[in-house]
Structure 1
């Protein structure tokens, strides 16, 4: 992530990386890997949803819940990156880049990422997930950047705050509506289509993140930016608490009293991701703003490594899925299943052949740590290669 310094007309604009943004992005990428390891390795993943309060445990719930931060932060910061990139480009150049990168991500989701999730060359199912949502949001942002900043912010906030009005609208068999606001699975002949990430709120999140990029322009010094980030973060968290307590709007699943106070608290936190509800966005992006507020400062040995991953998030995303799925082949064999059971025709936890497969959370955490540590040298290599070959424009698409 780069920021800019003021330059005279006709002179080159100097840029430097914003380490706090890379640190946040690297953190959520590492957390994201935990969720994907859980999908492929945890025995409970093949029996019940980890946020099902009638069956889950506190540690399993939070193993899943903490990963809620990943997708909204990634989409939000993608918008922020676009704004900062736009300070070095014309609107036309920025719009073209967003359009072409967005279309490239959609293609990547259908061709490569779906294959990595399934390892099935027959493509019995297409998984329409987060990379698709990012790509389509970039396509829309390519058009929105031509509008005034206030108009983009208004559109983004309306989509984020208002889309839950549509929660009661369901159109069985309507693929277009599924793409927009209603997670669905479709069987199209011999091929399945799982629409996991309806796009209306994701467009709003990225558009709002684009406007957020103004905080990283020269007119905002570090102290003013920190104060603003704290206000935004605390405000979002307070708004989450108020709206969630009222229990009328902001999430299709209201909270309720449970068997213990702890599980009642879990119910309060148990917000909806598909599509991301207003409350989901507030409870994830609020703490993210606080993270950014307190992350500006010198890096230590550990945070430098996290920043490295945050500088190459798409590379990490693509590599880590393939690695986790490949390790799951070994896991299947160890647990008495066949590696062939990991060649999938559906989402991994919805595969009947894997009933009874899996390991406890201790193994999940060990595999997760191993995957992250093992991928770090590759991320460092790619970051160095990318930094050393800025003339290669195709690198900006990965």
Structure 2
């Protein structure tokens, strides 16, 4: 099954990827310069100001959309090569590459400690492992892939009460798959911040949705199907959330409507609950369809540039944030207990906007370099 020859469509995928990594920048500015008001998962809405809650809620869009697009992009690669083995090899190599980056350059950017004493297995790790899982599954019939994705996404919350004896090999496997916690190997502590099982479901779903980008479907048919799936996903989220018995921690009614609304959208990310996935995948698909219609807008091109080199931007912004934090501490000291932090959420937003403009020239240069030197194979991983 060949992919439709439509560069504008590919630009809409890059643009959505660019949007979510800019939102990710905002969240990482929060994790660097606003840690005196840390947020839990799910958030304590009584203790979290609405502006901070909204910023974190917006950032929830990032990981599910990025993993979904990874699955779609894997299908586009498969459609282009028409080779299961070549696609599997690419996914396997890229997955290992991402895992290696998480354990080394990414972890050092967060901890600034070498050799590492603690390693945080975060989103790049989860994407890497998910790509390895997809590599093993791409030869399966489409109905099996769809059923597997749905079974994982809809069923994994049934496993929330499953636990294993501390220190056992089953607990280690379970911490990797479904439960957030600490492991230790050779004196190094590892934190399974992103249990991977639900993300495997999302990447399988993305690969299945990639079939709508084949020549079998016109752009109009594709958008109709994607919008229908998105509306079903959001509608099911609303119904299940109102029923309030499955898919996430129950929400609460408060005297203040604003707190009730915050509670309704206060979803669990670690690991991502069924309702977390339904809401964010639905919203992401709607934005993807809208981006196909907005490609002539002037603001669209920078998003494409950011999204064309996501790993380069990811590493770049982490090290820039670490450098800025070290400089701020040396100049002004710790102004909020153990942290240097800005005082207001609007300052966090302003820093994020300023950084997006400041980093754009480097991202644009690397994007041009990558596309002008396609013979350098390692560049395709960035």
The TM tier, using the shorter chain, reads over 0.9
Sort the Cα spacing of 1:122 and 1:57 in 2 relative to 1 into closer, same or farther, 3 A: same
What per-residue deviation string (whole Å, max 9, x for no partner) do you get for residues 301-332 of structure 1?
22100111011111111111111111111222
RMSD, aligned α-carbons: 2.1
Q: How far did 1:148 drift?
A: 1.0
1:272 equivalenced with 2:268 (yes/no): yes
Sort the Cα spacing of 1:188 and 1:355 in 2 relative to 1 into closer, same or farther, 3 A: farther
What per-residue deviation string (whole Å, max 9, x for no partner) do you get for residues 148-175 of structure 1?
1111111111111110001112334422
Q: What does residue range 67-106 of structure 1 map to in structure 2 within 5 Å?
A: 67-89=59-81, 90-106=83-99
Among 309, 313, 316, which residue is 1:312 paired with?
309
- 2:372: which partner in 1? 388
Tell me, yes or no, if the aligned pair for 1:23 and 1:306 is still in contact at 8 Å. yes
1:59 equivalenced with 2:51 (yes/no): yes
What per-residue deviation string (whole Å, max 9, x for no partner) do you get for residues 107-148 of structure 1?
111011100111111311101011110111111111100111
Tell me, yes or no, if the aligned pair for 2:36 and 2:337 is still in contact at 8 Å. no
Query: In the comparison of the two structures, how many residue pairs are matched?
Result: 374
Q: Provide the C-alpha distance between the structure 2 equivalents of 1:146 and 1:168, rounded to a whole number of angstroms.
A: 33
Structure 2: tracts of 5 or more residues without a match: none
Q: How far did 1:381 drift?
A: 0.9
- Give the secondary structure class of the aligned counterpart of 2:116: coil
Q: What does residue range 1-398 of structure 1 map to in structure 2 within 5 Å?
A: 3-5=3-5, 18-46=10-38, 51-89=43-81, 90-171=83-164, 172-173=166-167, 174-186=171-183, 190-251=187-248, 253-297=249-293, 298-337=295-334, 355=338, 357-360=340-343, 361-398=345-382
What per-residue deviation string (whole Å, max 9, x for no partner) do you get for residues 37-64 of structure 1?
0011015335867921121111110111
Query: Comparing 47-56 with 98-107, which one deviates more in the overlay?
Result: 47-56
Tell me, yes or no, if the aligned pair for 1:335 and 1:358 is still in contact at 8 Å. no
Q: Provide the C-alpha distance between the structure 2 equivalents of 1:139 and 1:197, rounded to a whole number of angstroms.
A: 15
Q: Provide the C-alpha distance between the structure 1 equivalents of 2:105 and 2:178, rounded to a whole number of angstroms.
A: 24
Q: Provide the C-alpha distance between the structure 1 equivalents of 2:39 and 2:138, rounded to a whole number of angstroms.
A: 45
Tell me, yes or no, if the aligned pair for 2:107 and 2:119 is still in contact at 8 Å. yes
What per-residue deviation string (whole Å, max 9, x for no partner) do you get for residues 233-255 of structure 1?
1111100000111111111x111
- Give the secondary structure class of the aligned counterpart of 2:275: helix
Q: Provide the C-alpha distance between the structure 2 equivalents of 1:295 and 1:115, rounded to a whole number of angstroms.
A: 35
Q: Provide the C-alpha distance between the structure 1 equivalents of 2:140 and 2:186, rounded to a whole number of angstroms.
A: 42
Q: How far did 1:333 drift?
A: 2.9
Q: Provide the C-alpha distance between the structure 2 equivalents of 1:48 and 1:79, rounded to a whole number of angstroms.
A: 29
- Give the secondary structure class of the aligned counterpart of 1:22: helix
Q: Provide the C-alpha distance between the structure 1 equivalents of 2:3 and 2:365, rounded to a whole number of angstroms.
A: 23
TM-score by length of 1: 0.89
Tell me, yes or no, if the aligned pair for 2:241 and 2:264 is still in contact at 8 Å. yes
- Give the secondary structure class of the aligned counterpart of 1:81: helix
- Give the secondary structure class of the aligned counterpart of 1:28: helix
- Give the secondary structure class of the aligned counterpart of 2:208: helix
Q: Provide the C-alpha distance between the structure 1 equivalents of 2:236 and 2:230, rounded to a whole number of angstroms.
A: 10
Q: How far did 1:220 drift?
A: 1.4
Q: Provide the C-alpha distance between the structure 1 equivalents of 2:100 and 2:277, rounded to a whole number of angstroms.
A: 26
Tell me, yes or no, if the aligned pair for 2:3 and 2:80 is still in contact at 8 Å. no
- 1:341: which partner in 2? none
- Give the secondary structure class of the aligned counterpart of 2:375: coil
